[in-house]
Amino acid sequence: MMLDFTPSHLSDYRQNGFVAGRPVFSASEVARLRQRIEALEADHSEGAGGHDLAQFFRVNGHVVIPMLAEAARTPAILDAVESVLGPDLLAWSVELFIKEPGSRKTVSWHQDITYWGMGETDDEVTAWVALSDVSVEAGCMRFIPGSHKGRIADHEDTFDADNLLSRGQSIAGVDEAVAVHGPLRPGEMSLHHGRCFHASGANNSNDRRIGLAIRYVTPAVRNHAPGRDWAMPVLGETPRGGWDCIAGPRGLFHPADLALYDRILAGQADTLSAGAEQTVELYLQGGEAS
């Protein structure tokens, strides 16, 4: 699939903190990806290594599920992300945001990097790929243009069970009137900056709403960050320090990768829980299935 990501798309991204509607997979490629995700759901509904499948889908799926690691290496996605972040890229997390037909699940207004231990970096971007028709009706993302130019805002923890975020974290007082919808057809992606305010509503359509979110970072993100963190190099030079680099899964739910998954989760949960009034279990309730 040829990428259509021009200097004008890059300039929109820089100006607004997001850009939507960029095609990265053909109709047959996206149908195949969806089929493979749904086959995993059918064949591994019990999860693996003591984790629900929904948890792998909601965080770090690329550590144990080969097709998610492969997705992070999709050339058309990497070309666009390279335009934004430069030639040395790592995938920090690969995740799925699934809302079943008629689901009331929502995502509150937030900035991604608030709890990720990356400071206020400009060197993180999410490529969010639609694996189904992610229309306004289906609960596509909404963005506040230009919000990435500010600092990290205060977030209030709600721990709302219908919120797909780990702490139900929410920014108060967002001016919804200036929000812009980012509907995506199957196979299209949006890119959003880690400080761009975004949210999404319920799925009022008759189909599942499936988004594949790939979080990319550069080697520089670790220069000023505390603790350890893990990422998978996907383009350019492998960093010599800073990140604990991972190679990607040895096979589906390989025991060594499941052990690595646990180590990463424990390390990241410490960062995510910082300042929370209750322990944050990383995305145990993240998927519709959980």
- Report the interface residues with ligand AKG, using CB under 6 A: 97, 107, 112, 126, 128, 141, 198, 200, 211, 213
- Closer CB to ligand AKG, residue 100 or residue 262? 100
Instruction: Look at the chain and count its residues.
Output: 290
- Closer CB to ligand AKG, residue 139 or residue 239? 139
CB of 290 to ligand AKG, least distance (A): 16
CB of 254 to ligand AKG, least distance (A): 26
Say if CB 142 and CB 198 are below 8 A apart. Answer: yes
- Closer CB to ligand AKG, residue 117 or residue 211? 211
| Pairing relationship of beta strands 230-235 and 244-245 according to DSSP bridges | parallel
- Closer CB to ligand AKG, residue 201 or residue 219? 201
Beta strands in 85-187 (DSSP E): 89-99, 107-110, 124-130, 141-143, 180-181
CB of 81 to ligand AKG, least distance (A): 14
Smallest CA-to-CA distance from 61 within 46, 72, 50 is with 72
CB of 78 to ligand AKG, least distance (A): 18
Q: Please give the Cα distance from 232 to 243 (Å, whole number).
A: 9
- Closer CB to ligand AKG, residue 69 or residue 184? 184
CB of 43 to ligand AKG, least distance (A): 24
> Count of H helices and E strands in the chain?
6, 11
Q: In what order do the strands lie in the sheet with 198-200?
A: 107-110, 198-200, 141-143, 180-181
Q: What is the DSSP secondary structure assignment for residue 228, as one 8-state letter?
A: -
